[in-house]
Amino acid sequence: MTHNLRSIAMALCFTAPLAFAEGENNSALSASAAAELLYQIENLQLEVQSLRGTVEQQQHELSKMKASQRDRYIDLDKRISSLMKMIQERPAPVASITVPSASLPVTPVIDDVSQTANSTPVEVVSVPRVIEPANAETLAEYKAAYSLVRNNENAKAEVAFVDFITKYPNSELSGNSYYWLGLLKLNSGDPVSAIEQFKSVISLFPSHDKETDTLYRLGFAYLKVDDKESARGYLVDVIERFPNSKAAKLAKNLLSNIK
């Protein structure tokens, strides 16, 4: 387009003097040349206007794209800040879960020798596992690990989340860490390991904030290993227990594709 404009401009430069020169000798020829010159000027103006319109449209589209990206980033930042604030302010829940065998065993109380002689089974009461709320220290370390996920440093993120769980096994943020480990394993093509991580969220941190998403991810991961029965079970579970959640909507779509 720029080349055409230059060509037309050069043509006009050469045509104009000739048109006026001819006008001195031949009025009919001068009128024809003047008409041609006017026609070329009008065409040139139309092309310039067209170019301006194209540029303005492209600038408008670019501005819309920048505004959309900025709004998405602001929304994501607000969600993360809200989640972190909610985690920090929540009271410590008490999870009713049996202490793993690796922990200290619970010794049953036997009432004198008569019970031993009768070999009466004694019920062992499991000690509730106390989930610790997030504090400034754990929150800072968790955010550092999560930032690696946002920067697509997945290998480093896995190591960071494992270290966090090892260091703070009872922290409520360890539930989040298990969830992100599951996603990282799933994205790396290891659905079997992903299932193990997701199940840790469900078993070790009941009623955790990530439970809804974890149930959906379990259904998705089981489909990856071609276990449709287990996948259907988890997807139906999230739909029935959390019908208004986003995970439930995703589960319905995924469930409709299982044959």
Mean pLDDT across 88-104: 41
Between 191-204 and 172-187, two packed helices, what is the crossing angle to 10 degrees?
Answer: 160
Q: With pLDDT > 90 as the criterion, what percentage of the chain qualifies?
A: 48
Distance CA 79, CA 59 (A): 30
Nearest 10 degrees: Cα torsion 188, 190, 193, 194: 60
Q: What is the pLDDT of residues 118-173, one digit of tens each?
A: 444 445 444 567 899 999 999 999 999 999 999 999 999 999 999 999 999 999 99
Q: Which of 40-44, 105-109, 170-174, 227-231 has the lowest mean pLDDT?
A: 105-109
CATH of domain 87-102+123-256: 1.25.40.10
Q: Where are the domains of the chain?
A: 2-75, 87-102+123-256
Do strands 129-130 and 94-95 pair parallel, antiparallel, or not at all (unpaired)?
antiparallel
Q: Are 87 and 172 in contact (CB under 8 A)?
A: yes
